[in-house]
Amino acid sequence: MMRGSQRDRVIFALIVLAFAALLFGAWRVMIEQASFLQQEGDKRQIRHVTLPAARGPILDRRGHVLAMSTPMISVAIDPKTLQGQTDYQTSLASALRMPLEVVQEKIEANASKRFYYLKRGLTPEAAKLIERLPLEGVHLVPEFKRFYPSGEVMSHVIGFTNIDDSGIEGIELSYNDWLKGSPGVRKVIRDNLGRVIETVDEIRPAHEGKALTLSIDRDLQFFAYRALKRAMIEHQAKAAGLVLLDVKTGEILAMVSQPGFNPNDRSQVTANQTRNRVVTDVFEPGSTIKPVIVAGALELGTIKPDAVIDTGNGKYMSNDKLVKDHHGYGQLDLAGILRKSSNVGMVKIVEGMSREEVWRFLHFSGIGQETGIVFPGEQTGRLRDPLEWYPVTKTTAAYGYGYNVTLLQLARSYAVLANDGVLLPSSLIKLEGLPTQGKRVFKSENARLVVRLMEEVVSMQGTGRKAAIPGYRVAGKTGTTRKANKGYDSDKYRALFVGIAPATAPRFVMAVTVEEPSRGKYYGGDVAAPIFKEVMEEALRLMAVPPDDVAR
């Protein structure tokens, strides 16, 4: 048998060996494997989370906020973890105020996923109810939601973003890269429920997107919206549009379309409502294009300022087409042709011009060209190459048929006349400093003469007398066109008015269209001209433009 002292030595040796093994194991864990184990622990607790960045605000020309980003919280879940956890599901449904069966249905439908947005766009206050619950597999994700203080008034210009805060319509889409922010990254420690309990490091801070200042004036936009909305109801029209330009800069001060929509609540919005008809819809300009044709003829010298044209009994055959006026006006000077909107007079004017010359003045006045704005869905209209024109095309071109324009293009062609014959690019962004140098289309004296001639249209004897503004001289032109649909509909019209004010020192150009008015009135002078008067009066007042004809 082993003696006691020998046994004690053996036991002591075993204890020493065991202690040495423990020390060695501890050394391995603390020193040799520390880096590896730290990494493994970090994988389970430390996460890199994305910090959302707010989009830049959109402002009007006076600094009023038109679009802003507000912080929101979305609730994301791990369906695989929550599957079968009835208590968790009940508590979650109660906190979100969602039916339990809806929550269970979404969890089951996404059972194979580890991440799914259960509800988005909660306010931070509402999200606190979720944060207090010890729910495993539920995460709160900070986000931003776009808010539009002006609602429907600005909807067609601003557009809107999707649920991920990316622009999908209007300015929000066309300037998305400018407006969107730069997300940040933060290293955090999460507990076993996935909640952030400590921030370890901010790897990259989030940066808000850049602000964008529009040329639009919020107050003018509201006045235009109100007038157009009222006209839509009064005339039971299908659609309407209005655009107001600054003559000297090309800036767009107001741009409204109807029907409208509320960008803050798009649950019932249709694609038809989101169209900005000022730039997306094309139509034949009809009589509103006549001043541009007259200016072209004056520029060529094919007619003289004091020319008198015999319009006869109001019927005239040109290139095998019978051209008609409403009445037989006999002898008319240029002012009379515009005042009476004589098609016969216009056709006789273009007989002295070649088809290339007619095309050239339309083209260089902006018809069929890009306007200079960056806007999704903008159309350039259609002005065919003159080599493709039939002989009758030149005839119909004289009174605005055979080619298509947008309302913005039509307004720009009048801005050429108002700006002493110079075409400027249009802009939806507020310009800093001097505007871009434009292109001369007409001599200054010819442009000014046509503006004076158009004043006759707004006189008491003219078709646009309802556009007259007390104290100011107004120049303009009415138009009433039939809508094309495999021919021309006999009972569907577009009422138009384009005008300039003040006529002596033009500051603004406005174009108005009302599509398919159905309450008996459909002429441009009856439907569109009063809208012009209402909005232009507000523009002249708001911009403190002095009267130029106090006798009126």
Active site residues per annotation: 287
Give the HSE-up count for residue 343: Cα atoms under 13 Å, Cβ half-sphere. 25
Instruction: Tell me the C-alpha to C-alpha distance, in Å, between residue 415 and each of 90, 365, 383, 419, 471.
Output: 65, 9, 19, 6, 22
Query: Are residues 198 and 49 in contact, defined by beta-carbon separation less than 8 angstroms?
Result: no
Sequence letter at residue 472: Y
Q: Is the peptide bond before 142 cis (omega within 30 degrees of 0)?
A: no
Q: Cα–Cα distance between 29 and 383 in angstroms, integer?
A: 81
Cβ contacts of 491 within 8 Å, gap of 6 or more: none
Residue with tokens 């809107």: 160
Torsion of CA 500, 502, 507, 508, to 10 degrees: -30
Can you name the residues that pair with 283 across neighbouring β-strands? 405
Q: How many CB atoms lie within 10 A of CB 71?
A: 12
Q: What is the secondary structure of 170-233 as a DSSP string?
A: HHHHHTHHHHS-B-EEEEEEE-TTS-EEEEEEEEE--BPPPPEEBS--HHHHHHHHHHHHHHHH
Query: Are residues 99 and 93 in contact, defined by beta-carbon separation less than 8 angstroms?
Result: yes
